[in-house]
Chains A and B, each alone.
Chain A
Amino acid sequence: MKIRIKFKKYGVMKFIGHLDIMRYFQKAMRRAEIDIAYSEGFSPHQIMSFAAPLGVGITSDGEYLDIEVNATKSSAESIRALNQTMVEGIEVVSYVKLDDHAKTAMSIVAAADYYVYGKSGSELPYSLDELKVKQKEFYEDKEEILITKKTKKGQKTMDLKRLIYDFSIDEREGKPVFYLKVCTGSTDNVKPELVLEAFYEFLGSMFDASLFQVHRLEVYAADENNGFRPLSEMGEEIA
């Protein structure tokens, strides 16, 4: 049986990298006595995969992992069992059963949305209204946003415009807050910082990532109508 688990990652846990979060969940499954399935072989491992690795330093309300279980308790009981053994900064929010033929979260991830908050020192010399005008010029009015990206083989020009699905600006306590929905997945993965670098360059400024907190809100798969569906909505509650 396939299960999809959604969790939040916040506070100091943002410093724990993706591989260590995987190890963390492997041990958590044992503590919570989730009847997880193991691979065959002399050193069996849990059948578990994560949707879209989160970079160190980023917090999230929408992290996903898929597991395979032999049997399971109800969603509510499983969530409770897991949360009883979580550290502060990791909270399981949903546990749903997937269709037996469902593809793994990892293979269907299409988009993710983020807030990028400015910390102190990130103030910009523009009013919010001015910024919004600039943002329109940078994003809405443009057909394409060409950037050069360094790759292993050299440089590569890419069009960001078609990979940004949503982009808006707000302000909190005088500091900018950006909302972004960007293409995510193995082929055209866009980090929110990449968009902001381009935007700041457009403003004639430099984006200093250390002055911002990136927070992931949700991860999506593409749906039939060219829209996006949160990964957790693709399964059903276990009663």
Chain B
Amino acid sequence: MNQLALSDEILMTVDKPARYIGNELNIIKKNLDEVDIRFVICFPDVYEIGMSHLGIQILYDMFNKRKDVYCERVYSPWPDLHKIMKEQEIPLFSLETQKPVKTADFLGITIQYEMCYTNILQILDLSQIPFYARERTGEDPIVIGGGPCVYNPEPLADFFDLFYIGEGETSYDALFDLYKKMKANGKDRSDFLFETSKIPGIYVPSLYEVDYKEDGTIASFQPIREGVPQKIQKQVVMNLSDSVYPTRPLVPFIKATQDRVVLEIQRGCIRGCRFCQAGMIYRPNREKNIDLLKTYAYEMLKNTGHEEISLSSLSSSDYTDLNELVTFLIDNFKQNGVNISLPSLRIDAFSLDVMSKVQDIRKSSLTFAPEAGSQRMRDVINKGLTEEVILDGAKLAFDGGWQKVKLYFMLGLPTETEEDMRAIAELANKIAVRYYEIPKEQRNGKCQITISTSFFVPKPFTPFQWAKMYDRDSYLARAKVVNDAVKAQLNRKSIKYNWHEADVTVLEGILARGDRKIAQALLKVYEKGGIFDAWTEFFDNSRWIEAFEECGIDMDFYTTRERSLDEIFPWDFIDAGVSKEFLAREWNNAMAAKVTPNCRMKCSACGSMRFKGGVCYEDKN
């Protein structure tokens, strides 16, 4: 057993010491003398959240399959330990070896949401690695970023040596092989970084130069050296079924957010909702073979002992063999006390039937995500869901015995009017009407409808990347319109309304579409004590406002400004498959409230066909 990096005394004082000791079931142990590359993989949030992330489990499994690589994990130390580590200058360590992260060859950080950016700086700081990539030497690990946020890595560009754009399964082997070769030949850090820029999907920010126009937008974005590619191709795994999957995932001792087997059934989405980044960057939609999934389900339950299995995908209802898969899971595992959870299912007769088998109807609630209240607004966002479908689904659910319904919407969408906002409350009311149409003696008291709204944040590589945002007060005013409208409904007593705070929305907007100028402000926020900004109890908006002011950054430039169709965006150097022409076409369709059919109905030539597979070729083989 390893000597722990933290003393008993520290571990006995901090909350949940299990976060820092490793030793979980299915942990990989290796002899450090027998590996050439130590890769520490990091999810920059608390252990329980980081441990729940499928992507990390996939890479952990995949990297460790290589004999010459040892992949170790690290998560963000909770603020109680953070303080102790700073005071006592204890270097951040990996869970596997308990050795300092700074002694590893790579530090790979997955970047899943904007509000974890300050936690990335915390990781670097506690690891005692210089914040700025340009200040690092051969003594420091190569810091590499991945995950959905790297589709605009620019606000973080100064802090990373490399970014990996796209799905991790494809190019890491090339990166590791190159690293070994260059290390053996005694090449230095900058030579290595230059060579990596030739690996598909690898972006080396220090090898590019950005020029800005007087108005602050980008004039040009160019490589500074011959041989460095103009554009970075996102990486996609075309044959997902042949790809690696962790059938022995790690099982934490403390309850993680995902305390269950996660079965990824497909990647991508055929729908093309215009606000959704995942639906665009994971194109084309690729399904996994059903027989393989059955084997995985069996093995993973056996190898973990989990009492629950969940399907993972952006839109499970679109998986071709869903019916067969779900029936298999119920038939084979239900009687062994295994719960089956089915998120992201469209509500229809099939899904209700399935859910009635796997849930306690009276306790559980049904989730609808119409995203917008009015039909016009749903057409703008291309959410191909009609009011009729929603109401029929609700009716079916009520007939089936459900009483609780959760509704998710977005506010602050492009072209949104007060009428659209009020339509949210009206839709909830119409759903309640469907419930009270059931004869009194057949229903069980009142129904409970919960509306939740979040404020829309435009993301790169979506048709809404041109959309302007609003200021904080304007967001809250929108929520107030909905709240007032809810109070005006006949069935208001059956409707509950929750909305989010707006400060974070504005910041997310800045970080999502920010450029390299943002980096200095991020560091300032961290220096003012900003960590765990994704957690309301630690988030402090004033630190951010001050930091932007001190750096002379105009927040409105990134949020409320109108962007022209020909503006060069900070992320335009990435080739994400979907072309800018397609996105612009979709933006125009949105303005005209024109619906675009999904990939299975009709191809819209988004640009992803060149990956040569998935849904684009489904009926062509």
Contact = CB atoms under 8 A, between A and B. Distances in A.
Interface stretch (A20-28, A101-109, A136-144): A20-28
Contacts of B336: 30
B52 to A, nearest CB: 15
A12 B21 contact: yes
Given A28-B305, A57-B12, A210-B8, A15 B360 contact: no
A128 to B, nearest CB: 25
B253 A24 contact: yes
A31 B251 CA distance: 12
A31 B305 contact: yes
B98 to A, nearest CB: 10
B12 A56 contact: yes
B253 A26 contact: no
A87 B25 contact: yes
Contacts of A23: 253, 255
B1 A88 contact: yes
Contact of B305 (A12, A21, A30, A45): A30
Interface string B318-338: 000000000000000000110
Contacts of B254: 16, 20
Contacts of B2: 12
Given A44-B337, A210-B12, A11 B1 contact: yes
B396 interface: no
Given A15-B11, A23-B255, A87 B18 contact: no
B613 to A, nearest CB: 36
A141 B24 CA distance: 48
Contact of B253 (A11, A16, A29, A46): A16
Interface string B231-256: 00000000000000000000101110
Nearest to A30: B305
A213 B7 CA distance: 13
A43 interface: yes
B302 interface: yes
A27 B337 contact: no
Contacts of A210: 8-9, 12
B339 interface: yes
A210 B13 CA distance: 10
B23 interface: yes
Interface residues of A, number: 31
Interface in A163-214: 210, 213
B8 A57 contact: yes
A122 to B, nearest CB: 13
A88 B21 CA distance: 12
A53 interface: no
A38 interface: yes
Contacts of B134: none
Contact of A31 (B9, B24, B302, B360): B302
B306 interface: yes
Interface in B459-513: none
A27 B306 contact: yes
Contacts of A56: 12, 17
A71 to B, nearest CB: 14
Contact of B23 (A13, A17, A20): A13
Contacts of A126: none
A83 interface: no
Nearest to A209: B12
Contacts of B11: 15
B4 interface: yes
Contacts of A45: 337
Interface string B295-310: 0000001111111000
Contacts of A17: 18
A31 B303 CA distance: 6
Interface residues of B, number: 30
A18 to B, nearest CB: 11
B17 A29 contact: no
A133 to B, nearest CB: 31
A135 interface: no
Nearest to A27: B305
Interface string B19-62: 00111110100000000000000000000000000000000000
A127 B327 CA distance: 72
A87 B95 CA distance: 15
B340 to A, nearest CB: 12
A28 B337 CA distance: 14
A38 B337 contact: yes
B8 A88 contact: no
A185 B19 CA distance: 30
B310 to A, nearest CB: 16
B18 A16 contact: yes
A187 to B, nearest CB: 28
A16 B19 CA distance: 10
Interface string A1-16: 0000000000111011
A78 to B, nearest CB: 15
Given A13-B23, A15-B17, A85-B305, A27 B251 contact: yes
Contacts of B251: 27
Contacts of A89: 1, 23
Nearest to B254: A20
A28 B25 CA distance: 10
A15 B307 contact: no
A43 B360 contact: yes
Given A30-B301, A89-B1, 10 more contacts: A15-B21, A27-B251, A27-B304, A27-B305, A30-B336, A31-B305, A57-B12, A85-B25, A87-B23, A88-B23
Q: List 10 A-B pairs, minimum CB-CB distance, nearest first.
A: A27-B305, A30-B305, A31-B305, A15-B17, A12-B21, A11-B1, A42-B360, A20-B253, A16-B253, A210-B9
7 contacts: A12-B1, A13-B23, A17-B18, A23-B253, A31-B304, A38-B337, A87-B23
